[in-house]
Amino acid sequence: MWIVLTVIAAISMVVFFMRGPNAVWGGATIGLVVGIIIAIFGDGFNWFIIWKAVVVGTLVGVVAELLGEMSTRLKKCNRK
């Protein structure tokens, strides 16, 4: 399951790379920071925790971007 989620997150990061600051890269950054903090202060330093935190953060950013895009499209539909 984590491999599929990682592939989805990686593709999303590539797609959103040139769009400037966005929620996908922000989520990945926050996931990285949180993952490092958890890995350092957890029972033992574990790279898988960092990996999973980055994947989850990226996917949360994808959801935020999609919700923003849906909101923009719904506003355009309501104006007509």
Q: How many Å apart are CA 42 and CA 24, to the nearest integer?
A: 26
Mean pLDDT of 51-59: 96
pLDDT, tens only, 24-50: 999 999 999 999 999 999 888 889 999
Q: Which residues contact 32 (CB under 8 A, 6 or more apart)?
A: 50, 53, 54, 57
Spatial contact of 12 and 54, defined as CB atoms under 8 Å apart: no
Mean pLDDT of 65-72: 91
pTM: 0.86
